[in-house]
């Protein structure tokens, strides 16, 4: 395991805007506030979602699209740098009206209502290609 100690600094609570992209708003917020590393979690509801599934054999992400409303139960993730841009690595679990769930790596979702908690760290985290998994992972 690779690791390093980090200290938390600023903390935020935010309400996401209705009709805008969930992950895109986090990335825009991180850019505006100059956040180079953070963890976040959120809850709320979305109108649709595009999740990504990483096939470990093919080493490819495959999208799964949902054109239906969901409750967010929850969204969790982190902010770091990927290819010179702030990136919100986001995973989500969504529930349907009947209690069924779908979950995965969140690519995009249209916000119906959303609340977010963000804790920034006093460091910069960057992602680089990992040769074993072919994923963009933290360079620690």
Q: Is the Cβ–Cβ distance between 45 and 70 less than 8 Å?
A: yes
Where are the domains positioned within the chain?
9-122
Domain 9-122 indexed as CATH 3.30.1330.80? yes
What is the pTM for the complete model shown? 0.93
* pLDDT tens across the length of the chain (140 residues): 889 899 998 999 999 999 999 999 999 999 999 999 999 999 999 999 999 999 999 999 999 999 999 999 999 999 999 999 999 999 999 999 999 999 999 999 999 999 999 999 999 999 999 999 999 999 98
Question: For position 4, what pLDDT does the model report?
Answer: 85
């Amino acid at each position: 395991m690779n690791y390093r100690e980090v200290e938390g600094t600023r903390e935020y609570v935010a309400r996401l805007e209705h009709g805008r992209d969930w992950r895109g708003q986090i990335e825009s917020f991180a850019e505006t506030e100059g956040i180079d590393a953070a963890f976040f979690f959120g809850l709320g509801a979305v109108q649709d979602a595009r999740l990504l599934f990483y096939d470990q054999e093919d080493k490819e992400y495959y999208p799964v699209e949902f054109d239906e409303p969901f409750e967010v139960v929850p969204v969790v993730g982190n902010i770091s740098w990927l290819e010179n841009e702030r990136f919100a690595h986001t995973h989500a679990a969504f529930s349907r009206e009947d209690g069924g769930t779908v979950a995965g790596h969140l690519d995009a979702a249209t916000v119906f209502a959303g609340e977010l908690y963000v804790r920034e760290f006093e460091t910069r985290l960057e992602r680089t290609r990992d040769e074993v998994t072919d994923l963009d992972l933290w360079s620690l």
